[in-house]
Structure 1
């Protein structure tokens, strides 16, 4: 019954009363369930840590704010930590069991599926599930819309909807660089389907990723900073364009990249899933990646556990371990980089929280590195869709990501890594699952458009506008960010990508903090 509930709800939480216990959970791949045990030993639960904190007048966790400033920190198991003191959040794929004797325990209810030997039946199951999900939303009174980015995932959803004879509105954000061919592909797809689409300004011109003094749409405070604020202007345009918001479903291709594109550590998985060909695959990896054989083989045979590898990365980042190790895309995660402007007290408290959180976790999301990376990224995409639905719920629009459906996830995860690579196709698994429904030329495009032009421009404008205001940032006033070091770093003429990402994250956290403080002040009046 719990599995049935989790597979059939997309938002909120459920409470199942069974004899002398309560079972509390949310949708699979959702980590929004939060709880606290009050002074009266009452269990209080919510699908929003923010709502829970405001209801109980709880303070913001300064260390959690500091952790959110580290943009290179792996999403799992750290980014699910609540931004509020004393609020607990559920670990992925767990539910709560609350017994009559007030004993509380978390129970794992999902684990990744086993790999299959025959993939053709799985392609068929993915196809059937996509058709079922999308056909369920085609009703007479509904208004359907979808992203038409020019990429494969959004195009696949649109082609299937058109095959189901759906009347659908298409939306596209114009590319901000002449080298980006996404807009060209979007027009080709709309012409092929004989469906017009509405073009909005480029993401670079409408994004809010460096805005710190603005409210979130509908005066909503999300549980965590918006890490998709670069597309926030585009999303708001979609919400404003709906003619019948209360009956509108908008489709997005989120989750497609994770399920159908090779992850960074894909070569590591290939070697282990193809034992008899491991030597040949290892040599091919070295050749294609232009990695010296001695280094490449060493990376491929590396079997360091998730917890040990991540602890080493944490120790290196905070200066507690000087071990010389080679950064590799085949590792569990990339290197963790601590911003120079994070103050010493919060470096220490952040290190302590990270170490404790890693100690408490059971380990990787999967023993296979690439599947771990897939699941970790899907968890983030699930959070993004939840934020969309919660922020715009008053508009009535339902945001759906078909590729985040649990059945499609299970089917896709069961396909061995080697089927994700084809010299003639991009996303061959998705191509084989939708053959005959989606035009083949959609899968022969060699690359996705680049959006760095708008990011660099927005960064430079933000630096110019904020340099004189930094000492008034709340994060500075709270002693989390060193204003002098930050100002010095922003004054450097070279805009390194890592520096831009760090400042983008800082702006997102600063904005969340300002809105949260206003909410607290309002609730206390």
Structure 2
């Protein structure tokens, strides 16, 4: 399946080399009202909604609730690009927005990164696209070693490093922000989305979440079309299945039976399937699936950025083949549920200032459950510090592990580089963190709120990569939890009610009362695939050794070849090091795929693009 893509050009007379190169590769072309090229690329007809009136045009690209008639009515409210977002109020889904209004261009992605946007100066003109690799190809940009080195950090990168593209000169437009280009070429970015206040009691926030998630799932249901869905047994994917059934979907579900003693996922998945109408449940035993990390030696079209998704890539493809063979054209994933529903415990910092007695009770619960050491937890809670100071401190501690029993992280998880990262890699990432400390504001002045927003952006970025990888294989995977309306609804909840230590995902459980069987909503456990992870590394030990011996990271001076080799062939010595290994393997495999496929497959020259404007 050919991946969709687009490039947006401002309404200006330019040297046409870049536009001509894009036109050669485009299947679809939409022009500004002036007749100059605006949107070039390739997209399924049902994923592009266009409206035009006089010197104004509006495009919604992706999965959305709008229609041509609806968008045309909304366009009547647009006099300048400043009116675009108010005109689109109430449109839900996961999509990009582009507008051309009297020579002014406005383009944005989604609020949390499930739909990304990048910009670059090409031939002296600001051009934007939904894929960084598209712009890198058009601008002949080189990989940025700083950004490659940063991808070795675990468990994740802080803002703003997390959203950076991988190429020099190709910059990301921050999620929740839009790019504006005036007729004279002046560019600016503005925030089009702001988080709601977290003030609603559980019952009201759960009601908003229920309706947002219901609408997100219903948007993916088509009458008469079989819908695939993951049914892990966890609360996230199970909720999506019941919402899809409520919307009238006929389901074929995928459940993996992990090879772990005492695993309960399959029990809950079977219970859910027994209570779902019109469902064909498929259960895949671990022994019947490819081992984790299978296929690392196969060169594939690289994703937009390195990803740990490759651990289960072969398994995902195997189950996708089975689902597609049953007639499914789309797959729903519960990805993002953990990030959306459960706020990080960093909210305790602000709670101590607002309500000390409540904070004391909740902190004691977390301390008992997480075995926090009292001195470390007290130091963390009482000394939040500024975001700038936190980034500076993180730069100085890159060689330290993330640590345990430390209490709530004030601004999110502190990044740490693995032992095999070279001194050069440490210097590059530390410099980037110190630069960010001097020039970056947090996502929110409240440390806990910042951490939750960062967590949600991590989910959005993962959803984008999951959709990209699955579309290439032939069965696109959507993550309704990562729709803007769903994530925004979660943010309205009071964090100490949505994420306290005495219940498992209380916000989602409250939202799904009456829709999902109570037996599932009362679940308090969460299984993992630890034994399969270690088995996969042991199974592929020889190939992992070969990867280390010919490491692209080591060749670039970013990793110590021998230390990396020891880590890859001795997985039992890396207890707790899963994110470090997966991030490193993700970066290594991505560099190899990029070397094998230097030209993006979606930019293979096409012929006879479909041009025009909406009728």
TM-score, length-scaled by structure 1? 0.87
Instruction: Say if 1:15 and 1:23, in contact at 8 Å, map to a contact too.
Output: yes
Say which of 106, 110, 115 aligns to 2:189: 106
Alpha-carbon shift at residue 304 of structure 1 (Å): 1.1
Say which of 525, 536, 544 aligns to 1:458: 536
1:366 aligns with 2:455: no
1:300 aligns with 2:381: yes
CA distance in 2 between counterparts of 1:166 and 1:494 reads: 44
CA distance in 2 between counterparts of 1:351 and 1:426 reads: 37
The alpha-carbon distance between structure 1 residues 509 and 429, as it changes in their structure 2 partners (threshold 3 A), is same
Alpha-carbon shift at residue 208 of structure 1 (Å): 5.2
Which SS does the other structure have where 1:16 is aligned?
Answer: strand
Where does residue 258 of structure 1 map in the other structure?
Answer: 339
Instruction: Say if 1:122 and 1:411, in contact at 8 Å, map to a contact too.
Output: yes
The alpha-carbon distance between structure 1 residues 44 and 306, as it changes in their structure 2 partners (threshold 3 A), is same
Where does residue 356 of structure 1 map in the other structure?
Answer: 435
Q: Which is richer in strand?
A: 2
The alpha-carbon distance between structure 1 residues 184 and 74, as it changes in their structure 2 partners (threshold 3 A), is same
Where does residue 338 of structure 1 map in the other structure?
Answer: 417
1:369-423 CA-partner distances (Å, limit 9, x unpaired): 3332322122122222222333343566442222222222222111102222577
Instruction: Give the alignment of 1:32-181 within 5 angstroms.
Output: 32-38=116-122, 40-181=123-264
The alpha-carbon distance between structure 1 residues 276 and 247, as it changes in their structure 2 partners (threshold 3 A), is same
Worse-matched range after superposition: 402-411 or 290-299? 290-299
1:444 aligns with 2:522: yes
Say which of 220, 231, 252 aligns to 2:312: 231
Instruction: Give the alignment of 1:319-330 within 5 angstroms.
Output: 327-330=406-409
**Structure 1 gap segments, 5+ residues each:** none
The alpha-carbon distance between structure 1 residues 473 and 201, as it changes in their structure 2 partners (threshold 3 A), is farther
Which SS does the other structure have where 1:467 is aligned?
Answer: helix
CA distance in 1 between counterparts of 2:380 and 2:572 reads: 32
Which SS does the other structure have where 1:265 is aligned?
Answer: helix
The alpha-carbon distance between structure 1 residues 342 and 41, as it changes in their structure 2 partners (threshold 3 A), is same
CA distance in 1 between counterparts of 2:341 and 2:526 reads: 14
1:501 aligns with 2:572: no
1:464-494 CA-partner distances (Å, limit 9, x unpaired): 4333552322222222222133335556685
Where does residue 23 of structure 1 map in the other structure?
Answer: 106
The alpha-carbon distance between structure 1 residues 372 and 325, as it changes in their structure 2 partners (threshold 3 A), is same
Which SS does the other structure have where 2:98 is aligned?
Answer: strand
CA distance in 2 between counterparts of 1:2 and 1:487 reads: 51
Which SS does the other structure have where 1:172 is aligned?
Answer: strand
Instruction: Say if 1:204 and 1:455, in contact at 8 Å, map to a contact too.
Output: no
CA distance in 1 between counterparts of 2:166 and 2:222 reads: 40
Which SS does the other structure have where 2:397 is aligned?
Answer: helix
CA distance in 2 between counterparts of 1:309 and 1:203 reads: 45
CA distance in 1 between counterparts of 2:475 and 2:209 reads: 26
The alpha-carbon distance between structure 1 residues 303 and 384, as it changes in their structure 2 partners (threshold 3 A), is closer
1:271 aligns with 2:352: yes
CA distance in 1 between counterparts of 2:310 and 2:348 reads: 32
CA distance in 1 between counterparts of 2:409 and 2:288 reads: 32
Q: Report the RMSD for the aligned CA atoms in angstroms.
A: 3.3
Instruction: Say if 1:211 and 1:507, in contact at 8 Å, map to a contact too.
Output: no
Alpha-carbon shift at residue 171 of structure 1 (Å): 0.8
Which SS does the other structure have where 1:213 is aligned?
Answer: coil
Instruction: Say if 1:154 and 1:253, in contact at 8 Å, map to a contact too.
Output: yes
1:188-241 CA-partner distances (Å, limit 9, x unpaired): 22123364411234399536547532233xxx3211012222232232134323
Instruction: Say if 1:171 and 1:197, in contact at 8 Å, map to a contact too.
Output: yes
Instruction: Say if 1:206 and 1:230, in contact at 8 Å, map to a contact too.
Output: no
Where does residue 54 of structure 2 map in the other structure?
Answer: none
**Structure 2 gap segments, 5+ residues each:** 1-83, 605-615
CA distance in 1 between counterparts of 2:333 and 2:97 reads: 26
Alpha-carbon shift at residue 315 of structure 1 (Å): 1.4
The alpha-carbon distance between structure 1 residues 187 and 90, as it changes in their structure 2 partners (threshold 3 A), is same
Which SS does the other structure have where 1:248 is aligned?
Answer: coil
Alpha-carbon shift at residue 282 of structure 1 (Å): 4.8
Which SS does the other structure have where 1:71 is aligned?
Answer: coil
CA distance in 1 between counterparts of 2:537 and 2:194 reads: 41
Alpha-carbon shift at residue 162 of structure 1 (Å): 2.5
Say which of 505, 510, 514 aligns to 2:588: 510
CA distance in 2 between counterparts of 1:214 and 1:7 reads: 44
Aligned residues: 516
